[in-house]
Structure 1
Amino acid sequence: MSAPSTTKTSPDLAGRDLTLDLARIVCVLLVIVIHLLQVGIGRGPDGALVTSRPAEEQSWFDAATWVGQVMPLFFVVGGFASAAGWESWRRRGGDAAGFVRTRTLRLAQPAWPLFVFFAVVLSVAVLIGAPSDLVAAAAVGAGSPLWFLAAYLLCQALVPLMVGLHARAPRATVLGLLAGVVAVDALRFSTGISEIGLLNLLFVWPLAQQLGFWYRDGWFARRSALALVAIAALCYALLWPLTAWGPYSTSMLGNLNPPTLPLVLLGVAQACILCLLRPALERVMRVRWVRGFSFVLGSRLMTIYLWHLPVILVITGLTLLIPGAAPEPASPAWWWSRPLMFVVVLAAVLALSLLIARWEALGTLGATPAPGVVALAWACAFIPPFVVMEWFLSLGSAVLGAVLLGVAVLLLRHRRFARQPVAQSVGSQA
């Protein structure tokens, strides 16, 4: 069935599970906290510039990642939302091309100004002759969260297919994805070719998304509290032999890119824990100011995620200009400065979002372009973050991203590329 000729993107909150919105916000805020603990730039006792990754130097860091690595949960929650969005889209007569178009725009539009920013800043750095090693280190750090765009774009493109497979054979689909994860890991570690692990972009994150479908179906809610605790405990217990005797890193950060089997176990455990916490989260979301705070952050969440590391680096750079404001990384003063830095960074990102968050809003869209155009636009959106994920952020990858993401947005929004509206318009999409 053809996609609607016009698409309004105003949210429909009826039947929305607000606890999942809160979970998504907590995940992003925790990512900010983790990055604040990893970015160590300050002055040493002699006044010289010191750079390090303080959190990773601590003996507790690996163990902390077993709790703090929340990206699997983000994909679980995203799976819930994607299944609901696809069902709503289909109910209003939309097709797969239209769905992928809107989901791609939701990621490409906020990412485009960020890549433009990186291209401009890195170009200026080259022109003024800034130290290349310092610029490269800052670029690598600022671009590190962009892997998420590639992984999430891939998952979103697969939603129509995976929802259909889930409806027909939910268990077989999960087992098939799990077998793919194990097979890729086995081939990667037996050959020593780490690039083979990239194939798990097709298995690990879609499997976490698939868990979100199960969550939406009520599978986790139908389990007793004791069963959920047991499943979560078993998943964590399995991580120990996999990391102690198996080939996997004891740090869940080390298992992130390429993604590996331990992240699947984390996803299952985190889905169980989320279900256990749901009654408490529901009570929290009944508090009016919490709902308001969640709405403000939730409506700017992609902007916050994409821009928080550049903002951290800019604010850290400014502290270097203020005597005594940039303590030596990993010193007691540096650790005590982290809560204040979190507040300052969050306030700065929210202020920045007033200028650029409009790129998160899709507004009213015209008719969906032909499937081939949507596929081309999706590829243009996928390539830049994938390149950054593999070869890190540089001037070349920033310029490439600025160009390709601009092309993607143009292809998906400009009426020149839209299909002719159907004779009987399905109506507007909420």
Structure 2
Amino acid sequence: MIKQILRYQFSSLLILALVLSGCSAIKTVDFESLVDTTSKPIDFQIKKTYKLEDDGVYVSNEFTGARLNGFERKNDSTAIVIIKPENSPINNSAYYAFKAWSKNARSFYFEFNYPEYYKHRYMPKIKENGNWRVLDSSRVYKNDSIFTIKLNLTDTPITISAQEIQSSNDVNLWVSKTIEGKDYVRLKSYGKSTLGIGLPVLDIYKGDKKGKDIVVLLTRQHPPEVTGYYAFQEFLKTILDDSDLAATFLNKYRVLAFPIMNPDGVDLGHWRHNANGIDTNRDWSKYNQSEIKQAVQFIATALKKDHSKVLLGLDFHSTYEDVFYTNDIRKSTTLPNFIDDWFTALERNIPDYKVNEKSSNSTKPVSKGWFLYGHNAVGITYEIGDATPKDKIQLIGKVSAEQMMKILNQAVVIK
């Protein structure tokens, strides 16, 4: 009897192992130039409050999304702010974020110091009394590669950051508020990050999801790229605004929206990478990183279970200027005319707007190539400029969502 029970338990465990193995067998995608995305060590910043006792000046990185690796006195009016990346090699996205205050009200200069071959990128943003603003240019000083700012300090800390801080918690709060009362939006988790942070996805459709083709929206693969996230917010809000246009769209299609793909990197204040020291937007081939592997598994399961296909993938990022990165291959995709039609509509509906498109077939394992080579779908990297004003971001995000829905509502999809 005991032998039978043990044999049954062993058989059950074997079946479970086979099932789990089958679930994890997701299709990889080949690229011309592979990138090594096996995990690499990172240098964790030491969380502390730095003190310049003689000057009565303090700075701190003891908060989520901070980046500060050292703080040294230069003279009685200036300090050196030391900023380092999480590891290298890494692209020049020199992110920083710290709080500063003083015992007594005074002006003080902060000179930024980066490792060799890296330079200052982001114009400082200041948060005071709960509000963000760009630091006035009259308080910014550039001398060759040396970047210095002047701040008026008091005993109330202010936050100085490369971009407005939008932590994983901030994202979750925004998601909860945005989908409140919308029963056609299902907030799900597709797994956890390396450090155990939940990975949210919004599953959006009306009616029956069976057979509905899918539009995928991604953002925050790269931590500092907040302006792209703001465009994602406006794009998604437009899809959820209960208009007749959106209702028609969501009765025909299904949207999978991933609002924070790299929460570890965001919360750790990373320049580019996740907690394993990897650029997740180079992992869309072999899926060595759990964040990408779990997202791909979630999409693959939805496609198989509901007999659907991916039509379009938009990955929201930020760079030096507004630009759309597209693939040259279009005629053989499920939406061969979408890109041309969409860009024409954007220029027609946004005053004085000219689409900046850069087109080339993806050679490295990035998301836009994964949509093309893995699903024969249109893949676009939707980039917003580092310094693009918020009102312009909101307009572009809103109009681009509206025009996407109009085009897809009338589209004849190639099977």
TM-score bracket, normalised by the shorter chain, equals: under 0.3
Which of the pair is proportionally richer in strand?
2
TM-score by length of 2: 0.22
Give 1 or 2 for the bigger CA radius of gyration: 2
Task: With a CA cutoff of 8 Å and minimum separation of 6, indicate the structure with the bigger relative contact order.
Answer: 1
